[in-house]
């Protein structure tokens, strides 16, 4: 056996902070070995399939004022919009007709009875208009347990709520110091989602001002210990109309943020071999083939933007967002070609549920059956 191949196969990762920092600092042959091992593990556990999640950014209204976000409430230069129920369902139907196994409904954070009712109706209409039913992921921020439950019962299976950073002190630097922006609230919402049996996803920004490699190592440990089912993380890209833009001098280069993002994906794949990991659009904002590179080192999910084209330029969380002027057909054709070029295939008409979630539920069912037998 080739010595390099043998060494790669022996490569293992632990949840030791110093060890993870060492890998995040890696370059050259050591970085290559990390990427190769992550690729091998993904192919062995997940296969060479890439699942599409049709992303519908249906509203840029938001009650939050996060310092890094381009659609924050106080950004008066944003043209606000909200899609109708019919527009959302039409976009979901497009995804279904084109072999997407799932859609993602994403918006700024809104909390009201009207919004809860609206999303519940939309979920039910999407389910009614697709057979077999398309997978539905929600990314709608912090909500009450009652709201999460209603959406789960309506038919949503997954929820993505990014923690952004697992360091409470850094979290405070990224948000206003008020009751709407509490680290503890975000954490509690993640626990509620798990309690309600969603496939739970979270993620972090990579390359933030004031962020250290130790912070990123602890982010990986947080996701591992929380036992997430899916992850969406990528490079922090600044937006000129945000308070955090004032700290640009503190930033590492875009290329460094990109490289760190790939290492974070590879390390998380090794720590959690059977979760779903997204190759986020922010990667493509830095490198034209950024998403493909992420797939090569461990990612297995891509979220093509199927929001009606006339709205896309108004949902800019960061600057230089790609694909805002492409129609959905062009975007789909481009992605299909790119996936084929890296020896992967698209999971047509497959929901692509998290294997980690499925395996955990099987274990819980077996354990529950065991307890029932013990109590008889």
Instruction: Give 205's pLDDT tier (boundaries 50, 70, 90).
Output: very high
- pLDDT of res. 372: 47
Instruction: Give 360's pLDDT tier (boundaries 50, 70, 90).
Output: confident
- pLDDT of res. 336: 85
Average pLDDT over residues 158-185: 98
- pLDDT of res. 212: 98
Residue 1 resides in a domain: no
Instruction: Give 2's pLDDT tier (boundaries 50, 70, 90).
Output: very low
- pLDDT of res. 368: 47
Distance CA 365, CA 118 (A): 34
Domain containing residue 324? 10-371
Residue 84, Cβ neighbours under 10 Å: how many? 11
Distance CA 298, CA 137 (A): 21
Average pLDDT over residues 307-325: 87
Instruction: Give 369's pLDDT tier (boundaries 50, 70, 90).
Output: very low
Average pLDDT over residues 344-367: 86
- pLDDT of res. 9: 59
Number of domains in the chain: 1
Residue 269 resides in a domain: yes
Residue 3 resides in a domain: no
Residue 2 resides in a domain: no
- pLDDT of res. 8: 54
Average pLDDT over residues 81-99: 97
How do residues 4-61 score in pLDDT, each as one tens digit?
A: 444 455 788 999 999 999 999 999 999 999 999 999 999 999 999 999 999 999 999 9
| Cα radius of gyration (the chain) | 20
Please give the structure tokens belonging to residue 19.
């060890």
- pLDDT of res. 335: 84
Instruction: Give 1's pLDDT tier (boundaries 50, 70, 90).
Output: very low
Express as a percent the part of the chain with pLDDT over 70: 93
Residue 322 Ramachandran class (φ > 0 left, ψ -120 to 50 alpha, else beta): beta
More confident residue, 78 or 327: 78
- pLDDT of res. 373: 54
Helix, strand, coil % (nearest 5) of the chain? Answer: 50, 10, 40
- pLDDT of res. 110: 97
Distance CA 28, CA 34 (A): 10
Please give the structure tokens belonging to residue 289.
């083939």
* CATH code where residue 319 lies: 3.20.20.70
With vertex at residue 230, the alpha carbon angle to CA 154 and CA 21, rounded to the nearest 5 degrees, is: 155
- pLDDT of res. 6: 43
Helices first, then strands: H and E counts in the chain = 15, 11
- pLDDT of res. 3: 44
- Residues 292 and 337 sit within 8 Å (Cβ to Cβ): no
* Nearest Cα to Cα of residue 60 among 234, 344, 316, 247: 316
Instruction: Give 334's pLDDT tier (boundaries 50, 70, 90).
Output: confident
Residue 255, exposed/middle/buried by CB under 10 A (0-12, 13-18, 19+)? Answer: exposed
Residue 309 resides in a domain: yes
Residue 47 resides in a domain: yes
Residue 314 resides in a domain: yes
Residue 267 resides in a domain: yes
How do residues 270-281 score in pLDDT, each as one tens digit?
A: 999 999 999 999
């Amino acid at each position: 056996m080739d010595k390099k191949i043998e060494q790669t196969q022996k490569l293992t990762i632990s949840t030791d902070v110093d060890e993870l920092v060492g890998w995040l600092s890696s370059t050259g042959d050591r970085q290559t070995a990390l990427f190769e091992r992550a690729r091998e593990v993904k192919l062995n556990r997940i296969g060479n399939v890439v699942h599409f999640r049709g992303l519908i950014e249906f509203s840029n209204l938001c009650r939050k004022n996060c310092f890094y976000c381009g659609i924050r409430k106080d950004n008066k230069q944003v043209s606000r919009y909200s899609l109708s129920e019919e527009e959302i369902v039409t976009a979901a139907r497009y995804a279904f007709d084109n072999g997407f196994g799932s859609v993602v409904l994403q918006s700024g954070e809104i909390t009201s009875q009207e919004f809860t009712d609206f999303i519940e109706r939309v979920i039910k209409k999407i389910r009614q208009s697709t057979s077999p039913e398309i997978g539905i992921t929600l990314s709608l921020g912090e909500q009450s347990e009652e709201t999460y439950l209603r959406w789960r019962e309506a038919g949503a299976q997954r929820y993505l709520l990014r923690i952004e950073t697992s360091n409470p002190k850094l979290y405070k630097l990224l948000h206003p110091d008020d009751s709407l922006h509490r680290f503890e609230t975000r954490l509690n919402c993640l626990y509620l989602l798990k309690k309600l049996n969603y496939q739970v996803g979270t993620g972090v920004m990579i390359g933030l001002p004031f962020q250290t490699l130790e912070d990123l190592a602890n982010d990986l440990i947080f996701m591992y210990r929380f036992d997430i089912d899916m992850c969406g993380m990528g490079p922090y890209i600044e937006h000129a109309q945000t308070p955090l833009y004032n700290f640009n001098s503190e930033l590492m280069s875009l290329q460094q943020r990109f490289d760190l993002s790939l290492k974070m994906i590879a390390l998380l794949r090794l720590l959690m071999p059977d979760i779903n990991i997204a190759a986020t659009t922010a990667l493509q904002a830095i490198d034209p083939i950024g998403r493909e590179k992420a797939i090569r080192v461990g990612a297995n999910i891509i979220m093509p933007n199927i929001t009606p084209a006339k709205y896309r330029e108004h949902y800019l969380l960061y600057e230089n967002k790609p694909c805002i002027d492409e129609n959905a057909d062009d975007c789909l054709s481009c992605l299909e070609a790119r996936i084929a070029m890296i020896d992967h295939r698209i999971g047509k008409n497959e929901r692509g549920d998290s294997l980690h979630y499925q395996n955990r539920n099987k274990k819980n069912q077996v354990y529950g059956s065991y307890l029932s037998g013990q109590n008889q």
